Amino acid sequence: MIALNLLSPKQKEALRARVVYAMLERLMIVFVALLLASSVLALFVKIRLTEGLSQVQTRQILSSEYITVNSEIRQLNQQIGRVEALQKMAVSPSALLLDIAERTPPGVRVTGMDFDVKSKSMRLSGTAIDRDALLLYEEAMRGSPFVESLQSPISNLFQKENINFQFMIVLDTDAMRKAYEPSL
């Protein structure tokens, strides 16, 4: 086989340079195309990540709102518990006052009552027309379901008539609470 070379070495070099240049050009086009495709892919990934981040932030906001609401509910439950405890401790004196009024015989007038809830005691003072009325009232008060104990100083009996008396009474607060609880 005979090889004929119609091109001069300069032209050959120029042609080789053109071929290399064309290859480089194609490689550059492929590189730019790949770069463009990866940029578009990166843009889509960024959009998805942004959406995911916004969802996470939304959940976080809802979570923090849940924590806030949950702590408010916990505080309200504690307040309700305190109110229930206070209601269990509540003592209504109205039943006691009615009992005292019903047990007061004629000739005895109650002039003062001092309640001390902490010591569960009451000081009852008044006047009686005579000793018999005072002793009758003392016995009536000892029979009250709200009275645990009653102390009557001996000085209550020094006078025969127009007696200023004073009783120290220890109250049965359980009986008072039972009278205070609403019947169902």
Domain edge (last residue) among 55, 89, 123: 89
Question: Which residues partner with 89 through β-bridges?
Answer: none
Based on the domain organization, do 73 and 115 belong to the same domain?
no
Based on the domain organization, do 137 and 67 belong to the same domain?
no
- 135-168 pLDDT, tens digit per residue, is 999 999 999 988 999 998 888 888 888 999 999 9
Q: Higher-confidence residue: 180 or 131?
A: 131
Mean pLDDT score across all residues of the chain: 87
pTM over 0.85: no
Based on the domain organization, do 78 and 100 belong to the same domain?
no
Q: What is the pLDDT of residue 184?
A: 47
Split into its structural domains, the chain has a count of 2
In a domain, 1, yes or no: no
Structure tokens at 124: 């009852």
Closest CA to 151 of 111, 127, 124, 178: 124
Based on the domain organization, do 147 and 80 belong to the same domain?
no
Residue % of the chain over a pLDDT of 70 = 93
Based on the domain organization, do 110 and 75 belong to the same domain?
no
Q: For residue 105, give its domain range.
A: 93-180
Residue type, 142: R
First-residue to last-residue Cα distance in the chain = 124
- 103-124 pLDDT, tens digit per residue, is 999 999 999 999 887 788 899 9
